Structure 1
Amino acid sequence: MAFSTPSPSIARALAARDYNEPTPVQAAVLAPETAGRDLLVSAQTGSGKTVAYGLAIAETLLGEAEFFGAAGAPQALIVAPTRELALQVHRELEWLYENARARIVACVGGMDPRRERRLLSDGVHIVVGTPGRLRDHIERGGLDLSALQVAVLDEADEMLDLGFREDLEFILSAAPETRRSLLFSATLPRGIVALAKRYQHDAMRIEVANTQGGHADIEYRAVRIVPKEMEHAVV
């Protein structure tokens, strides 16, 4: 199966990066029967899920259009558990949407919130951020979700493990009920299923097997640490 995207600008971005064949999660998320649907996807980190949902939301935001219109309130929101992941997602979406002339803003903890508010006020198409920082911008009136068409929760299980449930519920409640919601999680514990039932509409559940048993480019080692050295260990 080759990549198929109706937007010429997205197709050019994929070709420039030599994206020819989709990964299993990309093929599953982009299957014809998923078009316009809310999705609950079980997929591991490193499976290509960022490009998967980047392409999925492109169908919602662009359709067959080549370029975005004037920037204003965000049309898409991606929520990630950590600053590092959010910035990585931001970089991925930057190249994917560069030809489409998208304005993409990252809002993450540890960065200057005043600069983020200025960028948001200048108009944006896509916002990527961490739960706490996004909630802060919403509460202060800097982030308007009234025009949101699609929301993505990336690594949702980790966000719940880190205690972001209330922030996620606040963010999703601030978005229009008509939005499309894509939820990606390595595992689907009870809390994730409950979140999906509450904030998604007739979601299609997709499970992608991890055929590599981990990241192919990462070497895994177990290191035994004696109790007295635990404080000084770096994992």
Structure 2
Amino acid sequence: MGRLSGKVAIITGAASGMGLAGAQLFASEGATVVLTDVAAEALSRETEAIVDAGGQATSVLLDVADAASWLNVLDHTLKAFGGVDVLVNNAGIQIAKGVLEAELDDWNKVLGVNTTGVWLGMKAVLPHFQQHGGGSIVNVSSIGGIIGGLADGGGAAYSASKGAVRSLTKHAAQWFAKDNVRVNSIHPGAVYTGMAAGLGYTKESISEQYATEIPLPPHVGDPIDIAYGMLYLASDESKYVTAAELVIDGGWSTH
């Protein structure tokens, strides 16, 4: 028996990085996983790899900032599997511009994905959770929603969006606890993902960059480190945990 046996989980931003690590881990722990993303080719490839490895998975294209797209994901999931037990709102983007440098379009784009996308995801699944005895929502925020400086990567909109996710999580946790719905947030620090690799960074270069900020070696995390946090909050092991902020940052936020 896996830690998520019998559960159906929707994960956003699941074609790469932390979302993909979560999808792979969830499948290995017995969940049926619905991977969603806007990157069609990578999404199809990674879903197929999970199935080839013996996991139960399917994929649906999703623009998290679009309400109709969310309803399509939920409809697909309910028709295919009869229900949903877990939602992981992981999809996010960053535009590294400060308060004075960012334009309104930059601001709206980041808030649309990082905050509106989380709200729309919860809005889509919560009625189902209410009708079927509960569920778990895991919202991926950031330590950029808790502290400033390098933690927000220089992005004013990113910082605001992740702070909003932090507050929205607590709001939903309190209002839907009566329905046995748990809503928690994860706050990653520096994580080495495919996006970082695509920008020319190595794990070693990121580790060196953050050595004075992050006390715990190797000073940068892996996507699986965040995935294990997702797993705990999605599983029944956290049945008495809601509105929690799970910080996974190597000690960065101790400053």
Report the TM range for the smaller structure's normalisation: 0.3 to 0.5
The TM-score normalised by the length of structure 1 is 0.36
Q: Which has the larger radius of gyration?
A: 1
The TM-score normalised by the length of structure 2 is 0.34
